[in-house]
Amino acid sequence: TAPPPRRHRAAAGAAPAATRPRRARMDAPRRKKKPLVPGVIYISRVPPSLRPGKMRRLLEQHGDISNLYLAATQKTREEKRKYGRSKRFVEGWVEFADKKIAKRVAASLNTTPIGAGRHAEDLWCLKYLRGFEWKHLTEKQAYDRKVEDQRARLASAHAAREVGEYTRLMDQRDKQSAIKKRKRAAEGEADDDG
């Protein structure tokens, strides 16, 4: 049989356990956990067949993703005819819920193969964007949209001016040709009379 477990005896003159003061660190107020600061990673190259859903599934293995945005190319008519209408993504941004995880993911995955199968030869091209917030990206997109709208408005106004100038010139030509016709008709009548 095993001997009974030893119990420590209180030192002589020590207060009983119930009246003993607690440790100082137990009395100190507990520190609140800091709120998680999100971190953004820039993806400089997106393989041709990688879609946002697949990108999210690949990166969610490493941490919680708050936002994901992949920028599509602006295709010309010739490219649409040649490559089809499917979107091709060029670059992207991923916001992780915790910036520590974002830094770790960018450092560990950069220049490593994306995965097996179709993407076996493609490498991750990731960079952690220090001090970058998701709102900066949305602000840039809004600014780009405004610039594009303004450019389209200016092009439309320019086209309207050109059409107006063309119609003015055509009206002027028609008036001059009508005046010449009347002069010829008047000269013809004058010759008939004389």
Cα–Cα nearest to 10, from 20, 1, 25: 20
pLDDT in tens, 109-122: 988 888 767 777 88
Which pLDDT band, with edges at 50, 70 and 90, does 65 fall under?
very high
Q: What is the pLDDT of residue 141?
A: 77
Q: Is residue 9 predicted with pLDDT exceeding 70?
A: no
Q: What is the pLDDT of residue 13?
A: 56
pLDDT in tens, 115-155: 767 777 888 889 999 988 888 877 877 888 888 888 888 88
**Lookup result for tokens 């010309």:** 76
Identify whether the C-beta of residue 98 lies closer than 8 Å to the C-beta of residue 37. Answer: yes
The residues facing 96 across adjacent strands are 39, 65
Report CA 149 to chain centroid distance, whole Å.
Answer: 19
Q: Is residue 95 predicted with pLDDT exceeding 90?
A: yes
79 vs 168, more confident: 168
DSSP state of 45: -
Q: Is residue 161 predicted with pLDDT exceeding 60?
A: yes
Cα–Cα nearest to 136, from 69, 50, 65: 69
- Written as one letter, the residue type at 140 is K
Q: What is the pLDDT of residue 103?
A: 93
